[in-house]
Amino acid sequence: MCGVAMANPEGINAGCSCAYSPVCWDENGECTDNTLLLADEKTEGLFYADFDMDSIRSYREREMMGNTFRKVRAYSGLLEDKIEYPFIRKGSPRI
């Protein structure tokens, strides 16, 4: 239930930077096109996507997914300071 933006370098089999709103259904339950931005493979530049935060907040309040399936304990590993194999790189700082 959050917006997503992806930036990619241009080029063949690359590019296609994009942004999507999390609002997938309107107030009547009808599917919406949530594509905010979709660049092509070859265009280089800065792209802007306008995320309507009021719309997203309203959507979160009414949508059935809400916090139903949150598993906060599952995210604890993402907050650890340890760097372990396979993510150790030569010259990387030890935390």
Band of pLDDT at residue 7, cut at 50, 70 and 90: very high
Stretch 75-84: mean pLDDT: 82
Instruction: Give me 89's structure tokens.
Output: 């790189």
DSSP assignment of 67-90 equals: TTT--GGGGGGGG-----TTS--T
Predicted pLDDT at 93: 63
- CB of 84 closer than 8 Å to CB of 90: no
- Give pLDDT tens digits for 22-63: 999 888 989 999 999 999 988 888 999 999 999 999 998 888
Band of pLDDT at residue 6, cut at 50, 70 and 90: very high
Domain assignment of residue 80, yes or no: no
- Distance CA(3)–CA(56), nearest Å, equals 8
Predicted pLDDT at 63: 83
Q: Is residue 78 scored above 90 in pLDDT?
A: no
Domain assignment of residue 41, yes or no: yes
Task: Count structural domains, the chain.
Answer: 1
Domain assignment of residue 77, yes or no: no
Domain that holds residue 61: 4-69
